[in-house]
Structure formats: C-alpha cells, structure tokens
Amino acid sequence: MKAGARRLVDLPVSKLSNHTPVTLPVHVLHGNLPGPTMFISAAIHGDELNGVEIIRRVLRTLQPGNIAGTLLCVPVVNAYGFIGRSRYLPDRRDLNRSFPGSATGSLAARLAHLFLHEVVYRCQFGIDLHTAAVHRVNLPQIRSNFARSPRCRELSEAFGAQVVLESPERPGSLRRAARESGIDVLVYEGGEGLRFDDFAIRAGVDGIANVMLKTGMLQLPDGIEPPPTPANRAPVFANASKWVRAPDGGIFRTTKQIGNAVSAGEVIGVVSNPYEESESEVRASHRGIIVGRTTLPIVNMGDALFHVAWAEEFAAAKARSVPDEPAAAARDGTDPLMDEDEII
C-alpha cells in the first residue's frame, strides 16, 4: 500500500445461517510520513455503540496526508452482536473473553484470532472503545496498566480523560493477549450500552487525537501548536475501585451523577419501600469519584448502584487500614470482579 493512501479492507469471517457473508471491515490510513502503527477498535461487545460513532467521526476528520505512520480502524469487531443488539456472539460467548482465540475453534475463538493476527499484531499500541453495560452509564475514563507500563501511563495521561483507572486484565481479554505480545492497549469507557452519548463520544474523539499528537502520528499544519492541557484538567490516576450495592430491594433515588466526588460514609442515595415509608440509606464505602452508576430506579438487594474509584493516595491509606480487596470481598459477600464492565 502506497504512502498517503486510504483503503477499506474486508477480512472474511464466516457466513450467516442463510449464507450471507460476514466480514471484518478495516479502514487503513497509511500516512505520507513514517511512524508507528496504531489500531482503534469498537463494538467488541455488540451493544456498545459509542465507539462506532467515535471511529466514524475520527475517519471523517483524518486524511492520510495529515498522519505519520499507519492507522487501522475497526468500527465493528463483533458484527453478530451488533446486528442482534447484544453484548455477545450467537452462542452467548463474550468475544473479550476469547482471546487469543484459535483458527479452528468456536466462532468467538476464530473471530478473536482473526482480529488479533490481522489487526492488533501489526500495531505498536491501540485504543479499544467500550461503554458500560445496558442500564448503566460510565464516566468517560481510561482503563490501563499504568502502574506496570510507563508507556501506558504516558498515553493514558495524554488521552485527557477525567479518570485513569488501573484495571487488572481478565483471562481471555484483548488487553492481556496484546500485552503478552508487547502491545499496549488503552481501554476507553464512556456512556451506556445501546445509546449514543454525545459527551462521551466527543471525549473519545478528542482523546484519540491527543494520543496521536503525543505519539507524533497526527501532523498539525505549520505554525499551529497543540493546545496545552490545563493543570486543573490533569487526570485522576486511581488504582482501586468498588461497586456500592443496594442494601435492600425497592425504589432507588439519588442526586449523585457520574463524575461527582464522594466521602467515605456519605449518604449517596436511598432505597425506598414502594408500599411503605421505610427507606434504606446507601452510603459510600470510600472517598473517591463516581465513575459508573446504574440508570435503573428499580433495584434488588445486592444490585450494583455506584462504581466508586479512588486515587493512589487513598488506596495507600486503605492498604494500611484494611485487608486486601479479594479477602475483604469474600467476607462481605461481594465480588468486584463479577461486574462485566468493571474489568475489561
């Protein structure tokens, strides 16, 4: 492919049961100047739509003549889930638990193998776009291994999201498979499943541009300098988080929104009995920032209500005062790893 060229490449995946071909379309922008190769992917979970629109807007604004290196954009990785408005593949497998996959395995394994070998392995780094699960909303945030990888921390900070969350990798995730091959992946989370959130979409587009500027991939016209990041907009680096859960079933009410700061023990909502005047208070377990919350007012006991993250200095104080998180979780009956959109 020549320098300064742009092409849409269709990678064959399989056929539907009615023999309709399914492909993995990849937009390839090959810049005029040498540089790194980066991928942007969306809809690994088929019901997470903000990333599809983010990539569409990025492609509208970029031309090969404006970039150095190569950009690979995959707006819809999981076409099956996208068509069915579902997080999963037709066999209910989660594609983001199927990496590195196999060329002869299940449909999820084959799709994971194809995406990894034909797109991810050609890159030095990438950004994978996600949203919260259906009926939850996430604050625009980056999840990465910034504590283990200096480059991840640098790229996470450059993105410009309000919060950067140190997020452990699950077995079978794209991030783990990529890291094992030396490829750093930032996960961008923002908005809600099956919904467009313009605030999260614009934050995603701006963040991708910031990363491309940081890595030298985006070339600004002569005489134009990138805007400096104000000191008061530096991201909060958090290395701990936990869901606050419903103490009882009933009607959930709150005035708290994503991005709000909370204090340990603060009342952040109530769950009311729909037939009586009794209600149960919902209290924050830690001082931190709300990075996700439910959008449903009807809850059952134990439902996840608020996802609270706290910064490194709070995590250090917590480590001195309470046991490690997995042990504490086992005792109080909660498991922070069980929420699908908490660890990507």
pLDDT of 90-111, one tens digit each? 999 999 999 999 999 999 999 9
Mean pLDDT of the region 305-331: 55
**43 conformational bin, left if phi > 0, alpha if psi -120 to 50, beta if neither:** left
Give the pLDDT of residue 329: 36
Give the pLDDT of residue 68: 96
Does 140 score more than 90 pLDDT? yes
Rounded CA-CA distance 88/46 in Å is: 7
DSSP code string of 243-282: EEE-SSSEEEE----TT-EE-TT-EEEEEE-SSSS-EEEE
Give the pLDDT of residue 330: 32
Q: Where in the chain is the domain with CATH 3.40.630.10?
A: 5-233
Claim: this prediction has a pTM higher than 0.75: yes
pLDDT band, very low/low/confident/very high, at 1 (cuts 50, 70, 90): confident
The CATH code of the domain at 240-338 is: 2.40.50.100
Rounded CA-CA distance 42/46 in Å is: 9
Q: Where in the chain is the domain with CATH 2.40.50.100?
A: 240-338
Q: Which helix (H) or strand (E) holds 136?
A: strand 136-144
8-56 confidence digits (pLDDT tens): 999 999 999 999 999 999 999 999 999 999 999 999 999 999 999 999 9
pLDDT band, very low/low/confident/very high, at 2 (cuts 50, 70, 90): confident
Give the pLDDT of residue 316: 47
For residue 333, CA distances in Å to 318, 330, 336 come to: 19, 5, 10
**Which superfamily is assigned to 5-233 in CATH?**
Zn peptidases (3.40.630.10)
Cβ contact 77:128 at 8 Å? no
